[in-house]
Amino acid sequence: MLTINGPEELKSWEGKELGVTEWMTVSQERINQFADATGDHQWIHVDVERAKKESPMGGPIAHGYLTLSLIPMFKDEIYTVEGAKAGLNYGLNSCRFLTPVPAGGRVRGRFV
């Protein structure tokens, strides 16, 4: 894991790769748990049999926001900032879900 010594050093990393996480499998169980946590039980995520029959993806897919919610976990695998009192989610400039993540698919994070 990369240790960055304070917010000033973090600024020097702008535009540079901090690292890449290990692959993580997005299980149907995780998808179901996310649906329960968010109240988003759309069939394309949680109804395995219907998704296999009717979905253009051939099976259930993870919620886009589930994929997005993995960022903090992935960040903790790659780097830490020493001396920071707290971290704050400031938001995103742009976010697009270009490729669906099928149940059982693998994802990883790359931080720049």
pTM of the model: 0.89
User: What CATH number is associated with residue 92?
Assistant: 3.10.129.10
Q: What is the distance between the alpha carbons of residues 71 and 55, in angstroms, rounded to a whole number?
A: 27
| 1-12 residue pLDDT tens | 999 999 889 999
- Give the chain's length: 112
| 93-112 residue pLDDT tens | 999 999 999 999 999 999 99
Q: What is the distance between the alpha carbons of residues 75 and 52, in angstroms, rounded to a whole number?
A: 33
For residue 16, give its domain range: 2-111
| Domains: count for the chain | 1
